[in-house]
Amino acid sequence: MPRFVPIADVAETLNISARQAYALVKSGELPAIKVLGGWRIETEELEKFIQRQYAQTREEIQRESFSE
């Protein structure tokens, strides 16, 4: 697996649009670097982002179950 992937690959992995992936980068939620005019995301950072999303989803589900 390559160390860095372009936004298009991130979008495909997350099943979102490239515009949505770029928004994650611009917001700082998904750390990235700019190389020769193109954004690159380290695969390790992408995995960390995915794990954070799992944790956030679990927390939201727990909050919802307590409020019912």
pLDDT digits (tens, 9 = 90+) for 49-60: 999 999 999 999
Task: Tell me which residue range forms the domain holding 16.
Answer: 4-67
Output the pLDDT for position 10: 98
Output the pLDDT for position 68: 64
In angstroms, the CA 66 to CA 47 distance is 29
Domain total of the chain: 1
**CATH number of the domain that 44 lies in?**
1.10.1660
Output the tens digit of pLDDT for each of the chain's 68 residues. Answer: 799 999 999 999 999 999 999 999 999 999 999 999 999 999 999 999 999 999 999 999 988 877 76
Output the pLDDT for position 65: 78
